[in-house]
A and B are shown apart, each in its own frame.
Chain A
């Protein structure tokens, strides 16, 4: 009997798959709540629950099996129109899904999942059409269990069970193990090919043949196996019978057969650290390539030039592929937002419609990881502060259901994510009051302050305008964290708002952090890199072109007057003796433009962005560094913070 095999090995597989199903269950449930009559959604959820139940059953996770079973019953009641997917029924399903999540976490930690008898009773009650909670009834024992002492041989001849795995089955040994365990419940295993030992060794195979002495319930079990995930074909025959006489087995229920179709991405999982290492190597390769190209050009050898151009092309391809591998769609982080918005809204008695556009836009994994929390903070703000209560909306003659929208779009070298609500908008007078109250501004300053400056205050730590501190958005923490998170990624955030009509948060983010185009410049014998995305042009100014407006130096380019920022002065280094000409980069960040004076413009190059540690992250003017072909470090200028100075 294969019971000896360590189950823990397969828990991980279970946890991953179950999570995948749970995620889609949550998504579908949020949609179902909006359209309670959509029986297709009920059907989809039923299948997912059924699959979770099956997987958990085979692994012996009783708590999960029972919870999934109860959910399945309730969904079944919905399908047969006995129960409607509204109100209490929806809540209890969400609670069921949450309970499953908790159980899966326990399993992941190697702990026993805790059973939830109360919740299961509630699910059953609701399934019966009793919306009010009644006294808990004892749950009937699961009927699938077959007691060992009841076994009575159905056939004296040995049966042969033949199973072929689907090509896409990523882990046949695990499946085989699970099947062997299932088979052993209703039959005595005589032998198997591959052997239990080989299965345990995780050898790769596509077929499994098991010779058994069947017991009661064998046929039903075989049908259950046929319904499993990743199995192409199941045949049963008697020992000695030619293989073409064996009968194909049809899956247990049409329904569970369809469960197979819920796709689980056909992928290999690779640790992020491995991709990071690969990217580091590619980065070195990119640098080495630049040197090779340079040397080859100087050399003038035709054969060498051919090889170099080949390597040049391959390097570019490898680079873009490696960067591509790291890109994942935005919707991977968006998936949990609908549920979150729904929960908070419900909690506050608000009605909110939540839509996402552009979720298919892909960003580097690092960006995706770090953007989730800022977006979450903003969404909470929208639900909590933005959208008005039902009453207020009525008074304002708005439709009762508020609308929160996330729209992501590609903008040249950035991604723009706009999160907007149609709520009350930001009350500038309230900000003014608060700014004066906190002595951040004098009354006069506050009264004349521009909207932009007032909105800027919202990003300061501890500045919150809602009178009562609510559980959801807390005490003014949030927006300052949002700004920090976004800026750490090299992005920026802006708010626009009009009173009564709503608020929009705009996040500009880079697609990838890894490799960027940059201009290398020198300032006081050190090399710096300026991201090409921020440069609009380079120019040489005659010293006499520099004019002064009050204390600030300005230059004029094709009629446009812009501030001149001398980088030496910015960094607190002595100015060099006045030269006749100034090397200038015209840079822009958001709507601001300026001319940066540097000692020299050196080269245009691709650089690999490396982050500085926490001691240097707050330094103004610098956003990171890169390592040049020579091994020297070039710091990356942070144009945004330079322009703010």
Chain B
């Protein structure tokens, strides 16, 4: 394994055909989708609540949050739990692809053409790995903006 001091580990995941990643230090744990209790009358991007060792954790459907085409969770779907200010929150994604180390140099600033629905405020940058493009997202920023709209 090559070790570069100017690099960070990321958890990469898929939503629709696009690839995204969170900084690993903000990720608490990852679960297969389990019983998610629906909360009616909640904002549409909220999938529901789950029982995380006796705590009620809100699960946000990132596809809906990023205004991508909606889809039913299946066996590859995962919930990435983020620790936000003491209250964990889950993000529902299509699939967790890998844990990857990205060098700071390989991360480019946010281009102006970022897709619709994905506000540039929470995109940290775009990483180019071989022929893949990974959008690096700040999960806490996503949450901050989510609670404002709701």
A binds B: yes
Residues of A participating in the B interface, judged by any CB pair closer than 8 Å:
280, 284, 526, 570-573, 610-616, 618-622, 624-625, 627, 631-633, 635
Known pairs A615-B147, A627-B54; A526 contacts B35 (CB<8 A): no
Q: Please tell me if the beta carbons of A625 and B54 are within 8 angstroms of each other in the complex.
A: no
Interface of A is mostly: loop
Chain A residue nearest to B43 in the complex (CB): A615
For this complex, 10 residue pairs linking A to B, each with C-beta atoms less than 8 Å apart, are A284-B54, A571-B40, A612-B56, A613-B57, A613-B87, A616-B42, A616-B46, A616-B49, A624-B56, A635-B49
> Across the interface, which residues of B come within 8 angstroms of A624, CB to CB?
56
A573 to chain B, nearest CB (A): 7
Q: Please tell me if the beta carbons of B37 and A633 are within 8 angstroms of each other in the complex.
A: yes
Q: Please tell me if the beta carbons of A625 and B49 are within 8 angstroms of each other in the complex.
A: yes
Q: Please tell me if the beta carbons of A612 and B49 are within 8 angstroms of each other in the complex.
A: yes
Known pairs A615-B89, A616-B42, A632-B51; A526 contacts B37 (CB<8 A): yes
Q: Please tell me if the beta carbons of A619 and B41 are within 8 angstroms of each other in the complex.
A: yes
Given A572-B40, A610-B54, 11 more A-B residue pairs with CB atoms under 8 Å apart are A526-B37, A571-B41, A573-B40, A615-B42, A616-B39, A618-B150, A621-B40, A631-B51, A632-B35, A633-B35, A633-B56
Residues of B participating in the A interface, judged by any CB pair closer than 8 Å:
35, 37-43, 46, 49-51, 54-58, 60, 87, 89, 143, 146-147, 150
Q: Please tell me if the beta carbons of A614 and B41 are within 8 angstroms of each other in the complex.
A: no
- A-B pair count, CB < 8 Å, reads 70
Q: Please tell me if the beta carbons of A610 and B42 are within 8 angstroms of each other in the complex.
A: no
Chain B residue nearest to A618 in the complex (CB): B150
Name, among B40, B50, B55, B60, the residue most crowded by chain A CB atoms within 10 Å (CB to CB). B40
CA gap between A236 and B44 in the complex, in Å: 79
Name, among B39, B54, B58, B143, the residue most crowded by chain A CB atoms within 10 Å (CB to CB). B39
> Across the interface, which residues of A come within 8 angstroms of B40, CB to CB?
571-573, 621
> Across the interface, which residues of A come within 8 angstroms of B143, CB to CB?
615
Chain B residue nearest to A626 in the complex (CB): B56
Q: Please tell me if the beta carbons of A625 and B56 are within 8 angstroms of each other in the complex.
A: yes
> Across the interface, which residues of A come within 8 angstroms of B56, CB to CB?
610-613, 624-625, 627, 633
> Across the interface, which residues of B come within 8 angstroms of A621, CB to CB?
40-41
Chain B residue nearest to A625 in the complex (CB): B56
Known pairs A615-B146, A616-B46; A610 contacts B37 (CB<8 A): no
Known pairs A280-B54, A612-B49, A615-B150; A635 contacts B41 (CB<8 A): no
CA gap between A616 and B39 in the complex, in Å: 8
> Across the interface, which residues of A come within 8 angstroms of B51, CB to CB?
627, 631-633
Known pairs A615-B89, A616-B49; A610 contacts B55 (CB<8 A): yes
A526 to chain B, nearest CB (A): 6
CA gap between A284 and B143 in the complex, in Å: 30
> Across the interface, which residues of B come within 8 angstroms of A632, CB to CB?
35, 37, 51
> Across the interface, which residues of B come within 8 angstroms of A613, CB to CB?
56-58, 87, 89
CA gap between A611 and B146 in the complex, in Å: 19
Known pairs A625-B49, A633-B50; A615 contacts B58 (CB<8 A): yes
Q: Please tell me if the beta carbons of A635 and B37 are within 8 angstroms of each other in the complex.
A: yes
> Across the interface, which residues of B come within 8 angstroms of A625, CB to CB?
37, 49, 56
CA gap between A620 and B143 in the complex, in Å: 20
CA gap between A615 and B85 in the complex, in Å: 13
CA gap between A610 and B55 in the complex, in Å: 7
CA gap between A133 and B52 in the complex, in Å: 64
Chain A residue nearest to B143 in the complex (CB): A615
Known pairs A621-B40, A625-B56; A614 contacts B35 (CB<8 A): no
Known pairs A615-B147, A615-B150, A633-B49; A620 contacts B41 (CB<8 A): yes
CA gap between A259 and B57 in the complex, in Å: 52
